[in-house]
Amino acid sequence: MLTRTCGTCRIDAVEESRGPFRTPADMFPTSTPETVARHKHWMAPDYMDAATEMLLFSFRSYVIRTERLTILVDACIGNDKDRPGRPHWHRQSWPWMANLNAAGVTAEDIDIVMCTHLHIDHVGWNTQLVDGRWVPTFPNARYVFSETEYRHWESMLGATQVGDNVFNDSVLPVVEAGRADLVRDDHEIDHGIVLEPTPGHTPGHVALNLTRGGDTALFTGDLFHHPLQVYEPDLSSAVCTDADLSRKSRYDFLNKYADSGAIIYPAHFTGAAIGEIRSDGDGWRFDFTE
């Protein structure tokens, strides 16, 4: 289990699953065999399966414990969700809650749930199935959603069955229970805990900036799906709403935080999972933290 500190705050990773996910071409449509070949030497075996050449993904949340709050960042895929179009996520029984408890946290301990965006693999544990109804999993929590993000998916109802399922079983029940706060994309959750707009993957995608005692931790959601995108920031995913804007957000973030000492906490990196962005010639690299 990954446990770190940021000043006086404790950060724990809560993993749901990991393994081969997609090929580079499936994940990043503008990638080329030549692009991938340049990076195989460091990607295999920790970030790419050498035999299948599929990119390895982790699906995880982070728990931040500050002096005042216990904050959950992103909520993975969830159990019992009806996802017939995604067989590997359909009506699953993941050990995520047991992993949360192993970090010394219960559902009742969570004060804030912050979703970087409202995609299927970031909102699942927002709700749980109780007596045939989807109800908020964290009974004492406020759920913080970007209003830009929420309104986008609200306007998309009826456009895709998968999107409707996700919104209806993992987002809307939270709002109907009066547990949601729809906020600006630069909202301050508490002193030193601020959202940063990183749009493109979705319209209201945000990162979370935690600053304590001279340390900075950045929870980047799907701004980077895979460390390959640090080396090749032009690569936007196949599921980005706006590939060009996603690309711009990555370049802006890399220019802002390279060599800053900030620790990056991505949602899906495998291996050592977290690290620092450093300048490397005309580009950047990701130095994983041991």
Q: Is the pLDDT of residue 26 over 80?
A: yes
Characterise 166 by phi-psi region: left (phi > 0), alpha (psi -120 to 50), beta (else).
alpha
Q: Is the pLDDT of residue 197 over 90?
A: yes
Q: Is the pLDDT of residue 1 over 80?
A: no
Task: For residues 20-35, give the mean pLDDT.
Answer: 97
pLDDT band with cut points at 50, 70 and 90 for residue 156: confident
Instruction: Using alpha carbons, select from 275, 246, 253, 273 the residue that is nearest to residue 262.
Output: 275
Tokens of 129: 């199935």
Give the pTM.
Answer: 0.96
Q: Is the pLDDT of residue 123 over 70?
A: yes
**Domain regions of the chain by residue span:** 3-288
pLDDT digits (tens, 9 = 90+) for 29-53: 999 999 999 999 999 999 999 999 9
* pLDDT for residue 136: 98
pLDDT band with cut points at 50, 70 and 90 for residue 157: confident
Characterise 2 by phi-psi region: left (phi > 0), alpha (psi -120 to 50), beta (else).
beta
Pick the CATH number of 3-288 from 3.90.180.10, 3.60.15.10, 2.60.120.560, 3.30.1360.120: 3.60.15.10
* pLDDT for residue 160: 66
